[in-house]
Amino acid sequence: MLPEKLRRIDETRIEVPKDYKAGMRVNGVIYVDEVLEQELETGAIDQVANVASLPGIVKASMAMPDIHTGYGFAIGGVAAFDLEDGVVSPGGVGYDINCGVRLLRSSLKKEEVVPKLKELVTVLYNEIPSGVGSKGKIRLMPDSERRLMLNGARWAVEEGYGEMSDLERIESGGCIDGADPDLISKKAYERGRAQQGTLGSGNHFLEVQHVDEIYDEKVANMLGLFKGQVTVMIHTGSRGFGHQVCTDFLEVMERAVNKYKIELPDRELACAPFNSPEAQDYLSAMKAAANYAWANRQCIMHWTREAFLKFFNAPPGALGMSLIYDVAHNIAKVEEHIVDGRKRKLIVHRKGATRAFPPGHPELPDAYRSIGQPVLIPGDMGRASFVLIGTEKAMNETFGSTCHGAGRVMSRHQAIKRAKGRAIWRELEDKGIIVRSAGRETLAEEMSEAYKDISNVVDVVHKAGISRKVARLRPMGVIKG
């Protein structure tokens, strides 16, 4: 049952009205059906309402069906702010700046891989550094660090980690202009120096999958997907580097709140006016961290392709391993959107939400201009992941945004407690899923029960029309940090 004052708009949306909480400037809208409504946290609803109180917010404070309580903004939150009187808030991006997902296709079929799956997963685990504090194969020198922050995935390709054609299939070409390495703290540099090309820990993963369902044959064909095909999904972000950038600028923003006399319902929403030096400095540092993350995923993908080729004793190009797309889901970007009938530039915060631009959008690569942006939605390691496509309705309703994953229903501590006495790896192996992890606790934290059912989450955004289902991918082998 919905909390008092909330009302259901339709089968996929509920409204958090302006009178839900004092100070709200716009309504809140949460994309959730009656099934997922049962898992809504009061704290997450309150965070949607709190964001609605920020200066310059446009249209509504929104949240996707994978919503759960986060820092300041709910995870799954989307909010856009006017550039004249709006604000920038690090809590609307999160600590793992440009945590995101990329998907590779291959010409391999499930039946070719299953007999060798255990050995393949072991090879990948040995080739891709993962785990808390993991150190990569790359040691960045000062000149390389600066170029990486300025050029993102392009830096990685120029260093030999991939091909120039990869850049065409990455959101923003794998680089946002305007990064400023001089704004990065010494501590952030230290944390990022040895972590480039690492998966990290927690919900980050590399997953060997197979396509087990096609919902839209035409779009699947254009993405190069077919039933029974083996794919690889990579989910990671800017590691300790991005975390430190966020930490550093939260302190800056807390001072800015007092300087600009901004009233907040929650100090975690610390922010500064878009045109202020504090906000512009944060955005320049955030762009550096976003570029670090794109380079990170590029390096990991390169080593993944190399590991497959070596394992299957195949020459370059023989396995058809190419990038479908790479999406960011913790980022703030200046974008053009139509609001009240006129085109406006806004700073769109997506915190645990994925861009879902429609067919014809100028930011899409030529290969996908006619069908819309590929949307990659990872699930938990025991169920499924999905490929969707962006829509015009998303552009009109959610600033071109959709969900980003399953969304937690248990804290990590609760999950560890629930998993006590269980062998999660064996439970997965019984389902035909081979998993390798840097620690047993990670598997407990990330077990399926700790998450909402990804199928329910994806059904909501599909029914709402803010992205359309294309294919379902089932896990075969998983590497967790």
Q: What angle do CA 44, 12, 26 make, to 5 degrees?
A: 55
In whole angstroms, give the CA distance from residue 265 to residue 230.
48
Please indicate whether residue 354 or residue 140 has the higher confidence score (pLDDT): 354
**Residue 481 pLDDT more than 80?**
no
In terms of CATH, what superfamily is 7-84+97-480? Answer: tRNA-splicing ligase RtcB (3.90.1860.10)
Active site residue 68: no
Task: Work out the percent of the chain whose per-residue pLDDT is above 90.
Answer: 86
**Residue 408 pLDDT more than 70?**
yes
Least confident segment among 70-74, 92-96, 190-194, 199-203:
199-203
**Residue 131 pLDDT more than 80?**
no
Of 337, 404, 413, 462, the catalytic one is: 404
For 87-125, the pLDDT digits (tens) are: 999 999 999 999 999 999 999 999 999 999 999 999 999
What pLDDT score was predicted for residue 1? 67
What pLDDT score was predicted for residue 225? 98
For 360-406, the pLDDT digits (tens) are: 999 999 999 999 999 999 999 899 999 999 999 999 999 999 999 99
What pLDDT score was predicted for residue 134? 65
Please indicate whether residue 3 or residue 199 has the higher confidence score (pLDDT): 199
What pLDDT score was predicted for residue 239? 94
Hey, where are the domains in the chain? Answer: 7-84+97-480
What pLDDT score was predicted for residue 440? 74
For 295-317, the pLDDT digits (tens) are: 999 999 999 999 999 999 999 88
What pLDDT score was predicted for residue 438? 78
What pLDDT score was predicted for residue 138? 83
Rounded to an integer, the average pLDDT of 415-420 is 88
For 46-87, the pLDDT digits (tens) are: 999 999 999 999 999 999 999 999 999 999 999 999 999 999
